[in-house]
Structure 1
Amino acid sequence: MPDAVGAAGERHPGAGPGAGRVTLYCPAPLLRAGRNTVTVLELERLGATLELRDRPELGPPEEYVEEFG
């Protein structure tokens, strides 16, 4: 569960396309000028990699179609 400046984020690694790979977004207003702290609490598995980037890497767009019957 990532936490940036007191605002908790959520992730669901076992759900949907790309399960296991998660991109989290931290809105700029939550960050302060200078140094920020990001805390990650991982309770399900060890050995995961955390990579911080200045731009998202979301992959190609996917079409979502929901049919109502």
Structure 2
Amino acid sequence: MAVKEMVMLWIDPPRKPLPVKHYSLLEYYCDEPDCDCRRVVLDAVSDYGGRIFASIHFGWETLAFYRKWAESCGL
């Protein structure tokens, strides 16, 4: 299933040299049974150097939702 849903990203920025031009975006969703964080983490990875080039945390709710959620989690 992961291969079917994998997203490939090709980047060729005009003035910013990056070590590679092919990236995969890996999605991570919370699987805690009682968690309701409603967010996803996207990691941009490549087979070059085996490292994460970017980690994007995205939530689709309002800022007020996440402030309330953070308070309830003691963050």
Q: Which one has the largest radius of gyration? A: 2
Q: Relative to total residues, which structure has the larger helix share, 1 or 2?
A: 2
Superposition TM-score tier, normalisation by shorter sequence: under 0.3
Greater relative contact order (Cα 8 A, min sep 6): structure 1 or 2?
Answer: 1
Query: What TM-score comes out, normalization by structure 2 length?
Result: 0.25
Query: What TM-score comes out, normalization by structure 1 length?
Result: 0.26
Q: Relative to total residues, which structure has the larger strand share, 1 or 2?
A: 2
